[in-house]
Amino acid sequence: MASQHKSPVAIVMGSDSDLEAMALCIDTLKEFGIKPVVRILSAHRTPRQAADFARNAGKDGIKVIIAGAGMAAHLAGSLAARTILPVIGVPLAAKDSPAGLDALLSTVQMPPGVPVATVSIGRAGAKNAAILAIQILAIGDPVLARKLVKFKNCQEKSVTAKDSALKRS
């Protein structure tokens, strides 16, 4: 069944416990006018549903998949194995594994031929995953490209203002 999705970006996370960190990814995409498809799918707990999602994502209009998971984080890799869409992996801390280094290595250490564009651990990575997805989409979308330029300019102004305030203090 094609086109049940209305968004070019899907955010998939392994558990509802990942939502706190991944909320920043959702919010950042919304700031750029993109309302993502958001799913909880697990490489280990719902392997068939996760596989079906990855196989159908392209047909359903998704252009970039963002996958966040903690612990032995195989979600991004298992999705990437089943699609030609770019997959961005967000390694997450989990309550039983608060540093998230296990998730970082599980996400980033993909074998040659099946890349996962892995961002940093946790909320910083969740935000960067959204921005990276937007940058990918902006290659063919001048409106999004202009929004990205504005975003970078605002970011620069904000840091410059903090620098000036520090110099004055």
Asked whether position 121 contacts ligand RP5 by CB under 6 A, the answer is no
Spatial separation of the C-alpha atoms in residues 161 and 125, rounded to whole Å: 25
Report residue 97 as tokens: 């594994």
Determine the size of the site formed for ligand RP5 (CB under 6 A).
10
Q: Among residues 22 and 137, whose Cβ is nearest to ligand RP5?
A: 22
**Which range, of 25-33, 63-71, 126-134, 143-151, touches ligand RP5 by CB under 6 A?**
63-71
Spatial separation of the C-alpha atoms in residues 63 and 138, rounded to whole Å: 12
Spatial separation of the C-alpha atoms in residues 8 and 6, rounded to whole Å: 7
Residues 77-96 that bind ligand RP5 (CB under 6 A): 92, 94
Q: Among residues 90 and 110, whose Cβ is nearest to ligand RP5?
A: 90
Amino acid at 4: Q
* List 9, 22, 29, 42, residue binding ligand RP5 (CB under 6 A): 42
Residue 156 near residue 125 (C-beta atoms within 8 A)? no
Asked whether position 57 contacts ligand RP5 by CB under 6 A, the answer is no
